[in-house]
Structure 1
Amino acid sequence: MTAPTRTRTRTLARRGLRLLTLGLVLAIAALVVPDSAVNSTRFELVKVHQADGADVGPDVVWVLAVGSDARPGEDMTHSRGDALQLVGIDTRTHAAADIGIPRDSWVDIPGHGYNKINSSLYFGGPQLLGQTVGNLVGIRPDYVFVTRFPYFIAMVKSIGGIEVNNPRAFSDSALRPKGFDAGRIHLNGYDAMAFSRIRHSLPRGDFDRSANQQRVLRGIQAKVRARASAPGFIERGVVTAMQHMHTDLGPAQLYELAQALSQVEPSKITNCVVQGGIGTIGGASVVLPYTSQARRYGDEARKDATLEHC
């Protein structure tokens, strides 16, 4: 047996052992977790229906991360999305690309005419939102991940908060009166939510907010990567997610996604925000996205999850 073959065999064996361990952990969790603990749906992860022959890289997984602004009692998968980030991960090179999409982008929503892109979640749930974003960027996500902001707060808190590089000081009288200092700062769960949602005090409003959301996602990924090697960290995360997640994915697929996220190399993360003009339609402020720019981002990142320039 050659050295490369032995290395691959050992890698497959370790992977198989970890999947077996995960299966055992999930089986035990199913026995000891009370039924009441699995009734709280905090996250939704949906596999998007793809057209045959989709032109995507075979090693790249695309996930559309959505922060829903659903109020208590509302269905978070049929409300308006407050944060939209299309994230691609190359499982071979461990590179990642993040394409931010301003929520007020005025686009053609299939079957519903022109409206703000975030309203496609309200009209048709994750599937329609994935289709609409795919039409704009040229990449239809493999999965759509939706959560409410209170649960996002809890998620960030559970990993001990995050660090982000903030390019400018800013504040908000309602969400963060004391504001955020410029430079490298620590964000707890609530602060990460506020940092992601504030826009009125930012020079470029929705565009700067989308860029801040990308900084928060970077911070989450960095924390997950730093802790991924700890025994049981990924497995516990998957178990916790399954207790509070509605999904059409199995445990092994969730584990693979978690592993892909944890293995992304920070130096290989690139991100851009789709820009556009500002207009008013029907009395509402909208973003008129530069569709050619959005498509260029999609063309650059489709095969290898790398953005060359914004």
Structure 2
Amino acid sequence: MSTHPLPGARGARRRWPRRVAWGLLAALVLVAAYGASLYFWAGARLRTTEAFRPYAGRPGPGEGTDWLLVGSDSRAALTPEQRRELHVGGDHGRHTDTIMLLHHGDGGPSLVSIPRDSYVRIPGHGKNKINAAYALGGAPLLTRTVEEATGLRLDHYAEVNFLGFVDVVDALGGVRICVPAGGLRDARSGADFAAGCQGMDGVQALRYVRARYADPLGDLGRVKRQRQLVSAVADRATGLSVLVPPWRLVPFLGTSLDALRVDGGTGVAALAELGLEMADLSGRKGATTTVPVAGEPEVPGVGDVVVWDSERAKRLFDALRNDTPIPTSGPN
């Protein structure tokens, strides 16, 4: 029996690696084209707002990059039915329910909660709760207030409102949250959760993070839940089940971009970097904490406020400015 290969077999073997190479090249081109189209599509959809204005004495740049992340409690875009479902009432004022500093540099990300009742100086308006800055002068006054209170120069600003937050969580198919022992029930926010890990849709997640009246820690307990939810959203959003299938990724990105407003100097690349830093935090690679508090007195005409521990707060902000490890009680 002849052992010679059939005519054409040797040529077919030579062509096989070439076909594989061309196939891989075509796949890479398709992936690159898909990524580029997403990039330009996202850039065209990105919504911006004025967040920074020049002013005398503005802090100079520090090491690394600092974001101000804000959750607005504006009810202006909500229907009466949505207000009832979200348990947010009918107040038409503009305040910030969530204020966080995200720093990232060589030492990894750090997420710092600023209690919304922090008693600070608001330029041109005397001392008040920090969340009043947004109501008095929008994002520009809030960013200036945060910069002057912390000594940090902010590089980026991102804001999401109630309804946008709910839509983002729902676009992910919900998130998984572990409720501490004792559960959480708060008639004001609508929270009613037994202890243990459980899935939450957008409305449930909002009720969970807004609860504070039934929490013995009040606003300080709420900021911990806010960081917990941010980590849960980042963990879900950076999972393969969302990132890989276009039919999941594109709707999620569209919903997120519709929910967000960023400063005019922030583009898609910066937002992508923000997402990666959030993913590191959800993987417990970074540090999270709250601005150190000295007390929660009542101020006539203002109400119950949060007063910072000035020495410990300065150490925290100095660490952020110098991109060194922050004093923290650990990830939570």
Band of TM-score, shorter chain: 0.7 to 0.9
Which amino acid in 1 is paired with 2:233? I
Which amino acid in 2 is paired with 1:154? D
Asked which structure has the greater CA Rg, the reply is 2
Partner of 1:230: 244
Taking every aligned residue pair, what percent have the same amino acid on both sides?
A: 26
| Closer, same or farther: CA 223–293 of 1 in aligned 2, 3 Å | same
Q: Is the 2:165–2:259 contact (alpha carbons within 8 Å) kept by the matching residues of 1?
A: no
Partner of 1:299: 318
Partner of 2:296: 278
| Closer, same or farther: CA 84–250 of 1 in aligned 2, 3 Å | closer
| Closer, same or farther: CA 30–211 of 1 in aligned 2, 3 Å | closer
Partner of 2:186: 172
* Structure 1: stretches of 5+ with no match in the other structure: 1-15, 32-37
- After TM superposition, list the pairs within 5 Å mapping 1:120-159 onto structure 2: 120-159=133-172
Secondary structure of 1:164's counterpart equals: strand
**Larger relative contact order (Cα-Cα within 8 Å, sequence gap ≥ 6):** 1
Which amino acid in 1 is paired with 2:151? G
- Give the counterpart of 1:86 among 97, 101, 116: 101
Q: Is the 1:166–1:183 contact (alpha carbons within 8 Å) kept by the matching residues of 2?
A: yes
- Give the counterpart of 1:269 among 249, 269, 286: 286
How much does 1:297 deviate? 1.8
What's the TM-score, normalizing by structure 1? 0.75
For 1:210 and 1:64, the matched residues in 2 are separated by 15
Q: Is the 1:163–1:185 contact (alpha carbons within 8 Å) kept by the matching residues of 2?
A: yes
How much does 1:265 deviate? 6.1
For these two proteins, the number of residue pairs brought into alignment is: 280
Q: Residue 203 in 1 paired to residue 210 in 2?
A: no
How much does 1:214 deviate? 0.9
How much does 1:241 deviate? 4.0
Q: Is the 1:46–1:144 contact (alpha carbons within 8 Å) kept by the matching residues of 2?
A: no
What's the TM-score, normalizing by structure 2? 0.71
How much does 1:113 deviate? 1.1
Q: Residue 288 in 1 paired to residue 307 in 2?
A: yes
Deviations 1:239-297 (A, max 9, x none): 54445554423444444444444455612132111223112223422122223222222
For 2:281 and 2:32, the matched residues in 1 are separated by 20
Secondary structure of 2:99's counterpart equals: strand
Deviations 1:59-90 (A, max 9, x none): xx32222121212259xxx8211111112233
Partner of 1:10: none
Q: Between Structure 1 and Structure 2, which shows a larger proportion of strand residues?
A: 1
